[in-house]
């Protein structure tokens, strides 16, 4: 096990290097850079840009250098904890992300926890009561949840809240707290607002999780070892929990690789619709404006979490399921 983990960590190094090259190349593919986009935006609104100041900034941050030099400067800085400067927000990248990161983690963590708490009992019930009226009803709700996009549900709730209650749904807190430091009043405001995006974002995730739990558990319940355990007179609950439920969780463990970056990135489109102060709208805006340091550093962070998540899921699968081994080869 230790040898396998060390080998995987060594493989991560060239993997992350290749990912960083790919991210840098894709961000640089559109013509121009942030400064040229900024000048065009000023021209569109009838203002004049200070070209001397822009040329100084371009030279200071190496935008007048060849692409390989720019890449080495960006990648080398990340090794020392320097993620660059966000020209869009006029702040260091760490300060821009830090203000939004904990709110994203809070929303995503609550959403994932709520999804698991709801989806697993429903999925188990549907699998153990196959083709019952409850199974049909829950399946219908699950299909509706999968069919309705999150951003459409957000728009519907915003409209209904405005019509029925005269309130505006948006942001993770009252607007008067947006620029204020953390306080108990701000925490209370966040707790009052957080349930709306949690319900909206968690709808599709809950529906998908129910379907997957049901399908995987049904596959295990129809296997011979379960029939043998029932024939021996074991209690139905014990038969369910000891092996079928445990074996059907493999998909859940393998999803850790995608859950970790999802906690940080959040639901981007829904966050834009609801004007949430999370990292999703920040990333979209950074990509649109070619804010290279902000977009590239954040994408690299997501890539790092994905690689770590895949390693954790592989190790957890080997510990959970005795049929899975970390080393290949036939056994006698």
pLDDT of 21 over the 70 cut? yes
Please, where in the chain does CATH 1.10.3720.10 lie? 97-320
pLDDT of 201 over the 80 cut? yes
- Comparing C-alpha atoms, which of 257, 138, 132, 153 is closest to residue 196? 153
The pLDDT value given to residue 70: 85
Query: How would residue 187 be classed by pLDDT, with cut points 50, 70 and 90?
Result: confident
- Please tell me whether residue 201 adopts helix, strand or coil conformation: helix
The pLDDT value given to residue 166: 66
Q: Which residues contact 146 (CB under 8 A, 6 or more apart)?
A: 204, 207, 208, 211
Could you read off the pLDDT of 91-130 as tens digits, one per residue?
A: 888 888 877 888 888 888 888 888 888 888 998 999 888 8
Higher-confidence residue of 32 and 266: namely 32
Question: Above pLDDT 70, what percent of the chain?
Answer: 95
Tell me how far apart the alpha carbons of residues 139 and 213 are, in angstroms, rounded to a whole number. Answer: 12
Higher-confidence residue of 181 and 310: namely 310
Q: Which CATH class is domain 97-320?
A: mainly alpha
pLDDT of 49 over the 80 cut? no
Tell me how far apart the alpha carbons of residues 301 and 203 are, in angstroms, rounded to a whole number. Answer: 27
pLDDT of 180 over the 60 cut? yes
Entry field: residues in the chain: 332
Question: Above pLDDT 90, what percent of the chain?
Answer: 4
- Comparing C-alpha atoms, which of 324, 193, 204, 320 is closest to residue 262? 204
SS3 content of the chain, % helix, strand, coil (to 5): 75, 0, 25
pLDDT of 192 over the 60 cut? yes
Question: What separation in angstroms does the CA of 304 have from each of 16, 19, 298?
Answer: 7, 9, 10
Tell me how far apart the alpha carbons of residues 287 and 22 are, in angstroms, rounded to a whole number. Answer: 15
What does DSSP say about strands 91-92 and 85-86: parallel, antiparallel, or unpaired? antiparallel
The pLDDT value given to residue 22: 92
Query: How would residue 230 be classed by pLDDT, with cut points 50, 70 and 90?
Result: confident
Tell me how far apart the alpha carbons of residues 192 and 190 are, in angstroms, rounded to a whole number. Answer: 5
Higher-confidence residue of 175 and 26: namely 26
Query: How would residue 332 be classed by pLDDT, with cut points 50, 70 and 90?
Result: very low
Cβ neighbourhood burial of 51 (10 Å; 0-12, 13-18, 19+): exposed
Q: Which residues contact 329 (CB under 8 A, 6 or more apart)?
A: none
Query: How would residue 153 be classed by pLDDT, with cut points 50, 70 and 90?
Result: confident
Q: Categorise residue 275: left if φ over 0, alpha if ψ from -120 to 50, beta otherwise.
A: left
Average pLDDT on 54-60 reads 79
CB distance 167 to 271 below 8 Å: no
């Amino acid at each position: 096990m230790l040898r396998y983990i060390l080998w995987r960590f060594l493989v991560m190094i060239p993997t992350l290097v290749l990912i960083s090259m790919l991210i840098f190349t894709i961000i640089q593919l559109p013509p121009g850079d942030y400064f040229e986009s900024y000048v065009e935006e000023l021209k569109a609104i009838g203002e004049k840009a200070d070209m001397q100041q822009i040329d100084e900034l371009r030279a200071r941050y190496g935008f007048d250098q060849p692409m390989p030099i720019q890449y080495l400067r960006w990648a080398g800085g990340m090794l020392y904890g320097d993620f660059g400067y966000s020209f869009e927000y006029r702040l260091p990248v760490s300060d821009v992300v830090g203000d939004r990161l904990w709110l994203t983690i809070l929303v995503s963590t609550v959403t994932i926890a709520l999804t698991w708490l709801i989806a697993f009992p429903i999925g188990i019930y549907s699998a153990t009561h196959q083709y019952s009226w409850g199974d049909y009803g829950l399946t219908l709700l699950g299909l509706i949840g999968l069919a309705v996009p999150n951003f459409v549900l957000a728009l519907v709730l915003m409209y209904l809240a405005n019509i029925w209650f005269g309130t505006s749904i948006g942001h993770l807190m009252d607007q008067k707290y947006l620029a204020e430091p953390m306080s108990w009043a701000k925490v209370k405001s966040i707790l009052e607002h957080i349930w709306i995006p949690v319900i909206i974002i968690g709808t599709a995730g809950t529906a998908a999780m129910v379907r997957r739990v049901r399908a995987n558990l049904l596959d295990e319940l129809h296997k011979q070892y379960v029939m043998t355990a029932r024939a021996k007179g074991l209690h139905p609950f014990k038969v369910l929990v000891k092996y079928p439920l445990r074996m059907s969780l493999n998909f859940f463990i393998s999803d850790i690789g995608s859950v970790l970056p999802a906690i940080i990135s959040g639901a981007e489109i829904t966050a834009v619709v609801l004007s949430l102060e999370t990292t999703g709208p920040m990333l979209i805006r950074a990509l649109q404006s070619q804010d290279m340091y902000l977009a590239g550093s954040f994408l690299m962070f997501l890539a790092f979490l994905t690689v770590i998540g895949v390693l954790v899921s592989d190790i957890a699968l080997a510990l959970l399921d005795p049929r899975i081994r970390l080393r290949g080869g036939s056994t006698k």
